[in-house]
Amino acid sequence: MNRTSALAALRAAGVVAVLRAPSADRAVRAVDALVAGGITGIEITYSTPDAADAIREIDRRYGAGVQLGAGTVRTASQAKEAVAAGARFLVSPGTDPSLAEAMLDTGAAAFFGALTPSEVITAVRLGAHAVKVFPASLGGPGYLASLRGPFPDVPFMPTGGVRADNIGHWLRSGAVAVGAGSELCSASAMAAGRWDEIEYAARQFADAFTQAITEGRR
């Protein structure tokens, strides 16, 4: 996937739900609730047992109706497995040269994790389609805005510390999209099968994102 297509897909998703589910089945059920609530950016992390099975089933159910990816990708075999299962983007928590090459070789959009300016430079040099600022909760939107100073042309997706009530702030600070984890879809809600709770949170996030766009914060 080229950079233009990757960014278009990321912008289309806007909010990417980062799922650390207790099982593949719970991940799929959570995605049903998220989509019902208006969230179509889905990242199934490899901390989810049988993550590839979840990705495969979500792709079967929704196809192009969701922007589907795999997160916490730490090995070349995970990258290949995820794309074979239907992932269209890959996210690593950090930036490693050999892993970056393997991710790019799959043809999927590749987002590398970085926090410091040096790490951002490395991620860009290795060909990241976008840079995942992680854990973004450490610095908040103000830190992202500071990164935008020396890196105005780098597409950033902050993950960590993203809530429905601060999405506009993240977008104003320069985020192309945001990754939302437990605030949107918590492991406890998935484990307990509280699908209505997840759908409600999804609606809050989707509405907040739409409002931010309407107000010209992106």
Give the Cα separation of 174 and 142 in Å (integer): 10
Give the catalytic positions in this structure.
Answer: 43, 132
Q: Which of 93, 52, 43 is CA-nearest to residue 70?
A: 43
List, as own/partner pairs, every contact residues 172-176 make where C-beta atoms lie below 8 angstroms and the sequence separation is at least 24, other chains included.
172/141, 172/145, 172/217, 173/141, 173/142, 173/144, 173/145, 173/148, 174/144, 174/145, 174/147, 174/148, 175/144, 176/7, 176/10, 176/11, 176/130
